[in-house]
Structure 1
Amino acid sequence: MSLKNRDEHNRWRNKTVAFRVSPEEDKQIETYVRLSGLTKQDYITRRLTHRDIVVQGNPRVFKALRNQLADVLSELQRIEAGGEVNDELLDLIEMIADILGGLKEESE
């Protein structure tokens, strides 16, 4: 038996769950996974089982946050020039704010 198929509680993971998403949903999920610092499997499992997503600050997470904030800035500049606000942008801003708020609390 392979150790990499066991979770942190030494439970054997041998069931596969699969579902289809749109390209837009996939992009959003990938963004959230990158910002969480978790694997996609752990992120989706925790979301589906209503467990907290605790972001552990590390260089990869900080880089993802920096890149996403650059994207948010460009979207805000587009909105300032007369574009419309989309719900995905608002969701992304809310998630980034939650992550940054949590990181700030840890450092205090």
Structure 2
Amino acid sequence: MSAKNMDSQGRWRNKTVAFRVSPEEDELIETLVRLSGLTKQEYIVRRLQEKEIVVVGNPRVYKALKMELAKVLEELQRIKGGEEVPKDLLDVIKQITVMMKGMKDGQ
């Protein structure tokens, strides 16, 4: 049995929630978590509660953003002119766009 954990709001977090995802879904979740700068637990809890996810720029988020943009560029270069852009890639591009707009508006 794991130890009880109290979060910053004084709530005991002693329940475990688990679910299965496909490798593609896992990759997208991992990408969105890295770009958010949150822990995976906090990201998923906020998304499930439909709370706003505010990305605070820090070196870790900057590095994740840089790496994801490099992956997006590589994938777009790989796709030939007539091929359709995969939905997962569009989701990542959309998230990066939202983040960049938020960073611009916040300055």
TM-score of the two chains, using structure 1 as the length reference: 0.90
The number of residues matched between the two structures is 105
- TM-superposed deviation, 1:82: 4.1
Q: Share of identical aligned residues, percent?
A: 63
- Spell out the pairing of 1:1-108 with structure 2 (5 A cutoff): 5-107=5-107
Structure ranking higher in helix proportion? 1
Higher relative contact order structure (alpha carbons within 8 Å, sequence separation ≥ 6): 2
Letter in 2 for 1:60: R
Residue 84 of structure 1: CA displacement?
2.7
Distance 1:66 1:15 in 2: 35
Alpha-carbon distance, 1:83 to partner: 3.3
SS of alignment partner, residue 5 of structure 1: coil
User: RMSD of aligned C-alpha atoms?
Assistant: 1.5
* Structure 1 spans left out of the alignment, 5+ residues: none
**Hey, what's the Cα distance between the residues in 2 that align with 1:54 and 1:7?**
19
C-alpha distance in structure 1 between counterparts of 2:7 and 2:92, whole Å: 29
**For the residues of structure 2 that align with 1:95 and 1:76, how far apart are their CA atoms?**
16
The gaps in structure 2 that reach 5 residues or longer are none
Amino acid at match of 2:63: K
Structure 1 outlier segments of 4+, above 3 Å: 80-83
